[in-house]
């Protein structure tokens, strides 16, 4: 767990800086995907969820556009989402079996807290392009996941082809310049999972060649 800690900068308050970095490292390492089918009650309560959304609001956001939003999908609304999942499967595969349709519907009911993340990707030529808006959304979502982790909740992001379906767009009243990017599920892990091996920085870090 102390991996990399020796590289910490020596500041005026070395002990405090080290403790903060260790805390942040432990939190980041602790977050892992626990899929919605393995999430149970309790999920965050109203005040915990408020803090989780405030963590989202701390994301970097060029020009402060707030180009993302989250729709809470309470249990009382999951039936319509289940229908969208089933309809979307049938559109893609008209020969889907009743079991496959039941599986598709069941996904809508998993996880005590379910959110849809929506990004306003904008139009070509906008000063803040879609890639920056999507990155900002990713930062907001990671802030939420880390805050939820700090509170003891488990979490997952899920995608799927239904996100692009016309039925989902209609259910969530997506504007023409909005995209549904993923679902965010939060709850309590049914059981713990072993930590995933993380890639070494050498796999994703390089130097730009020196000026000639």
Ligand X SMILES: Cc1cc2nc3c(=O)[nH]c(=O)nc-3n(C[C@H](O)[C@H](O)[C@H](O)COP(=O)(O)O)c2cc1C
User: Under the rule (CB under 6 A), what is the footprint of ligand X?
Assistant: 32-33, 35, 157-160, 182, 196
CB of 207 to ligand X, least distance (A): 26
State the Rg of the chain over Cα.
20
For residues 84 and 90, give the distance between their C-alpha atoms in angstroms, rounded to a whole number: 10
CB of 141 to ligand X, least distance (A): 8
Of the pair 43, 185, the CB lying nearest ligand X is at 185
> Any idea what the Cα angle at residue 49 is, between residues 157 and 59, rounded to 5°?
65
For residues 132 and 137, give the distance between their C-alpha atoms in angstroms, rounded to a whole number: 9
CB of 24 to ligand X, least distance (A): 16
Is residue 5 within 8 Å of 18, Cβ to Cβ?
yes
Is residue 185 within 8 Å of 110, Cβ to Cβ?
yes
Of the pair 60, 159, the CB lying nearest ligand X is at 159
Of the pair 14, 159, the CB lying nearest ligand X is at 159
SS3 162: helix
Of the pair 83, 158, the CB lying nearest ligand X is at 158
CB of 162 to ligand X, least distance (A): 10
Q: Pairing relation of β-strands 154-158 and 113-120? A: unpaired
Of the pair 191, 196, the CB lying nearest ligand X is at 196
For residues 109 and 36, give the distance between their C-alpha atoms in angstroms, rounded to a whole number: 9
CB of 31 to ligand X, least distance (A): 7
Is residue 36 within 8 Å of 156, Cβ to Cβ?
yes
């Amino acid at each position: 767990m102390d991996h990399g800690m020796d590289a910490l900068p020596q500041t005026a308050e070395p002990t405090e800086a080290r403790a903060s970095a260790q805390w942040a490292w432990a939190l980041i390492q602790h977050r892992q995907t626990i899929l919605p089918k393995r999430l149970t009650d309790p999920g965050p309560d109203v005040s915990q969820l408020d803090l989780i959304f405030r963590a989202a609001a701390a994301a970097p956001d060029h020009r402060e556009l707030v180009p993302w939003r989250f729709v809470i999908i309470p249990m009382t609304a999951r039936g319509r989402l289940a229908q969208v999942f089933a309809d979307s499967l049938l559109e893609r595969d008209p020969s889907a079996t009743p079991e496959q349709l039941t599986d598709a519907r069941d996904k809508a009911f998993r996880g005590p807290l379910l959110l849809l993340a929506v990004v306003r990707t904008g139009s070509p030529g906008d000063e803040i392009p879609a890639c920056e808006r999507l990155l900002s959304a990713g930062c907001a979502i990671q802030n939420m996941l880390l805050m939820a982790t700090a509170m003891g909740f488990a979490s997952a992001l899920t995608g799927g082809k239904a996100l692009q379906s016309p039925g989902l767009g209609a259910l969530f009243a997506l504007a023409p310049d909005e995209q549904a990017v993923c679902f965010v599920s939060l709850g309590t892990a049914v059981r713990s999972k072993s930590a995933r091996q993380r890639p070494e920085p050498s796999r994703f870090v390089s130097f730009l060649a020196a000026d000639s």
